[in-house]
Structure 1
Amino acid sequence: MHDMTSHGNRSGAIVAAIAAALLMVPFSAFAADEPVPGSSQGGSPGPAAPAEAKITTELPGKITVDNRSERTDLTARVRNGGTKDSGPIALSVVGFDGLRVTAVEGCVAIPKARLPQGSNSGFACVIDNLMAGKDRAYKVAATFDLHRTGKICLPVTVGASEKLIWQQGPVPFGTSSPTPNAPDTPLLLGTDNVPFGPDTPPAAGDLPRTGAPDDVLPLGLAAFALLVMGGAGIWWTTRSER
């Protein structure tokens, strides 16, 4: 019992230390590997990817957007496919362009003034440890302006450091066949959206373009929240690439 209590105290201290650390995590959006079926599409290991704790993220291959409310929901998942526990890590869920993240269950919002350059919304999820062979799912609520394109990004960093171990995206959701008169519009992961509207009629015969977009810009993103004096204040930092 004493050993279990000590272990719990140590784990709690690690999580508290991470949550109290103000980190600046500069990284560039990695070019994705060749698109493959599956929800890790658009993802690449970071320079600090550990050999034994294989951390990846997953997104659904298809989401559905309500054409009236523009609301959608999805599940973002972080997985440890390795043989060693991850230790403390952090997952961020960040929206770009027409895709705006409005809530992530169990996570904290990134203040608007501290969002990564080019993004419109984001949430951070601190994970004390992810055991080997396990995964953790987060329910994500979002809106998608179907008159625009939209992307999502899932970076993962390790511990109280500046080490990026995985990044999925920014990867687009979209369709080449808009359905403005239907109740909803299905969007596919890795597909650039063809906006609909009075000035943007659907393009006939176009095939979806999958994989990461060629014009992804570098972005700076802090991986953890700073909990100030035990209060609810949360600070994030960004740093532009030089």
Structure 2
Amino acid sequence: MYVKAAAGAVLALLLTTTVAAADPTPGSSQGGTPGPSAPAGVKVSTELPSKISVDNTSEATTLTARITNNGSKATPAIVLSVVGFGALKVTDVKGCSPVPTTRRPKGANGAYYCQISALAAGASKAFTVSATYDLQGKGQICLPVTLGTGETLLWQQGPVPFGTTRPTPNAPDTPLLLGTNNVPAGQDVSASPSPDLPSTGAPEGALPLALAGGLLLAAGAAGLWLTARKPRRH
């Protein structure tokens, strides 16, 4: 089955129920980088909301991770992963499977992989992501996309931060902006680094971040775990 073999191969490389949830702000591919190669006619990308809100009491938030095929032909089987880092913990991705804790990349706070058998040219799929955000820290999210039958990275968005330079601790929630490093309440903003995006790709001609930077986004970790188990015979 492609699910097991493909997921294991993806782990070695790097790191479906689909819900079309609407976000109050437009999506953005900010921080996205195409992979080094892709099948002819296949051109995928992902989007995250440009703004999310975190409940100041529960620290809960929801967002939509969207994948789109901008190419001229349908994709083969592909895998979209959603991985949280630092203060951002991914707690669920509806219609997707969790990566076991022991198989997550270093620093990951929750990781899920979403199997997509095919995505038609011009089509997109949206997945509802549930998460928590510790507003006293800085959090990032990463969306890598790989071929489901091999070791090809098609696209990676992030790790990209969500955050604010204007904390609202006394309000019901805190709005966080994509591409902004979070400044916790009470911290001196003037002493904080500029809220620019971190580098999400290696220099031109080099491997993308997931391959060269050591962030092994475990899109196929659960699949590798499954392949280690012998199937039962009935």
TM over 0.5: yes
Could you tell me how far 1:96 is from its partner in structure 2? 0.1
TM-score by length of 2: 0.80
Residue identity in the other structure for 2:4: A
Select which of 19, 29, 33 maps to 2:3: 19
Q: Note if 1:130 corresponds to 2:119.
A: yes
Could you tell me how far 1:219 is from its partner in structure 2? 1.1
Could you tell me how far 1:190 is from its partner in structure 2? 0.5
User: What secondary structure does 1:83 align onto?
Assistant: coil
User: What secondary structure does 1:25 align onto?
Assistant: helix
- RMSD over aligned CA atoms reads 2.4
Residue identity in the other structure for 1:18: Y
Could you tell me how far 1:223 is from its partner in structure 2? 2.8
Q: Note if 1:117 corresponds to 2:106.
A: yes
User: What secondary structure does 1:96 align onto?
Assistant: strand
Determine what percentage of the aligned residue pairs are the same residue. Answer: 52
- The answer on whether the counterparts of 1:176 and 1:208 sit within 8 Å (CA) in structure 2 is no
Aligned length: 204
Could you tell me how far 1:212 is from its partner in structure 2? 2.5
Counting only pairs closer than 5 Å after superposition, residues 13-162 of structure 1 correspond to structure 2 as 17-21=1-5, 22-23=8-9, 24-27=11-14, 39-162=28-151
Q: Note if 1:218 corresponds to 2:207.
A: no
- The answer on whether the counterparts of 1:178 and 1:202 sit within 8 Å (CA) in structure 2 is no
Residues 124, 179 of structure 1: alpha-carbon distance in 2 compared, 3 angstrom cutoff = same
User: What secondary structure does 1:86 align onto?
Assistant: coil
Residues 195, 213 of structure 1: alpha-carbon distance in 2 compared, 3 angstrom cutoff = farther
- The answer on whether the counterparts of 1:93 and 1:152 sit within 8 Å (CA) in structure 2 is yes
Residue identity in the other structure for 2:187: P
- The answer on whether the counterparts of 1:49 and 1:55 sit within 8 Å (CA) in structure 2 is no
Task: Structure 2 unaligned segments of length 5 or more: list them.
Answer: 16-25, 201-208
Residues 72, 181 of structure 1: alpha-carbon distance in 2 compared, 3 angstrom cutoff = same
Residue identity in the other structure for 1:81: N
Task: Structure 1 unaligned segments of length 5 or more: list them.
Answer: 1-16, 29-36, 232-242
Larger radius of gyration: 1
Residue identity in the other structure for 1:75: T
TM-score by length of 1: 0.77
